[in-house]
Structure 1
Amino acid sequence: MDSAPAGPRRPNARGQGERLREEIVTAAVRMLGERTDEAMSLRAVARALSISPTSVYLYFPDRGALVLAAMQRCHEDMLRAATEAEGRHTDPAARLRARILAQAAWAQANPGLYKVMHESEVSRQPGMPFKEAVLAGTVAAVQDCMDAGLAPAGDALTVALDLRAAVVGTLSLRINEPGLPWPPLAEQVGRFLTGLVGLPQP
């Protein structure tokens, strides 16, 4: 069932179109987190904000474009959390571990959004450079560990991709199969970092 209207809305003042766009994306993010992308519609977003569907179409020509914008917002939020966590440490190994655990914590706090980001049809579309920023940060963190002698020298991109596959895989499985006897996530991530990156156990 679509979200109930939020009540009469006063029109945005002149020059506040960007604010409305951000409100539309925020509403889309909320709905995606609750329903997954298959259940969200532009009309539902319009009703939630008490605006006309035409107002949504002014910024997003179709549902895919709006889901894409919502995904970009989610990736940026997750990346911000990872960067902030990484910045609390100076040791390269601790920085990488904090980065991965922060991304994992974001996924566990937003399981519906994480499914859209990694399992939806929209997530497989080309032309999403914001995804590359998450990977680039992990590559840099892995390279720092190698440069510091904390991990064996090698191709940081390959190692980061292996690590990404392991982390995304376990997070998706935990979301989709919560009844399995999963070990503590921090312990599992620690094993990934040891086995894939070569870091010593903390």
Structure 2
Amino acid sequence: MDEISAARGEAGETPSTPKARPRGRNPRGQGERLRDEIVSATLRLLDDLADDEALSLRAVAREVGIAATSVYIHFEDRDALVYAALERCHRDLMRGLDEAEAAAGDPVARLRARLLFLGAWVGRHAGLYKVLHESTLNRRTHLAFKDELAERTTAAVQRCMDAGLAPADDAAAVALDLRAAVHGTVSMRVNEPDLPWPPLEDQVDRFLTKLVGVRPPGGGHP
């Protein structure tokens, strides 16, 4: 996911648009590989467009180098394709969050690492972040895979409480407040980049102190 590049295709392609570059046929039994390539191309385009409604299946086909009709072999419509792309995006993001957490120390450091990784990821993939959370598909359809993010954050907050590093409280409610604060600041950084933003680490440390009740490593060691 960190190697996502700017998309080369226009979303609103017309019949006069140059044909897709030639592409060899996948050997028998490799249809799944083509499906993966379509999803990867969709992710690149969505990251560039930052808008699921600006995406066209023709542009996706051109990015992969196939006929537009080939996309329909794997995906019923644009919604199905965008859903599959966002599901992979979420899965890759969760893997990165888990790896960042695992490399940290105590429960507070691990929670902090998750939040900072999310902020760094959004900085690299602002377009995907907007589609993941602000797309029309997100408003029309429950993206069930996103529930995992809330559950993991709640579990991370609960571990801080269980370890005596945060006051006992309703972990789900605290985690929701924390998620709202972090998503608010990363979204504002994307949409209002010219504001005089402090380092994200400083804001995250304040959120952890004020909302979770911990003394975060980095901002002020116990």
TM range (shorter): over 0.9
Q: Deviations over 1:61-81 (max 9, x none)?
A: 111111111111111121111
Asked whether the 8 Å contact 1:86–1:96 carries over to 2, the reply is yes
Check the 8 A contact 1:79/1:103 in 2, yes or no.
no
Separation in 1 of the partners of 2:165 and 2:181? Answer: 20
Letter in 2 for 1:160: A
Residue matched to 2:149: 134
2:63 to 37, 48, 58: 48
Equivalent residue letter for 2:54:
A
Partner of 2:220: none
Q: Distance in 1 between matches of 2:181 and 2:140?
A: 22
Q: Report whether the alignment pairs 1:121 with 2:129.
A: no
Mapped pair 1:163 → 2:178? yes
Does residue 35 (structure 1) correspond to residue 43 (structure 2)? The answer is: no
SS in 1 for 2:28: coil
Q: Which amino acid aligns with 2:37?
A: E
Percent identical pairs in the alignment equals 59
Whether the 8 Å contact between 2:109 and 2:216 is mirrored in structure 1 is no
* Shift in CA distance, 118/127, structure 1 to aligned 2, threshold 3 Å: closer
The change in CA–CA distance for 1:114 and 1:5 in structure 2 (over 3 A counts) is farther
Give the distance between the partners of 2:216 and 2:118, measured in 1 at CA: 20
Could you say what the CA RMSD is over the residues aligned between the two structures, in angstroms? 1.5
| Residue 18 (structure 2) pairs with residue 2 (structure 1) | no
Give unpaired runs (5+ residues) of structure 2. 1-8, 12-17, 218-222
Length-normalised TM-score, structure 1: 0.95
The equivalent of 2:14 in structure 1 is: none
Q: How many residues align?
A: 202
User: In the aligned structure 2, how far is the partner of 1:157 from the partner of 1:146?
Assistant: 12
**2:164 is matched with which residue: 133, 138, 149?**
149
Q: In the alignment, which residue of structure 2 is the partner of 1:106? A: 121
Higher helix proportion, which one?
1
Gaps (5+ residues) in structure 1? none
How far residue 178 of structure 1 moved from its aligned partner, in angstroms, is 0.5
Name the CA distance, whole Å, in 2 between partners of 1:186 and 1:40. Answer: 34
Cα distance change of structure 1 residues 161 and 5 upon mapping to structure 2, 3 Å threshold: farther
User: Partner letter of residue 210 of structure 2?
Assistant: G
Query: Is the 8 Å Cα contact of residues 5 and 48 (structure 1) preserved in structure 2?
Result: no
* 1:179-194 matched pairs, under 5 angstroms: 179-194=194-209
Shift of 1:55: 1.1
1:197 correspondence with 2:212: yes
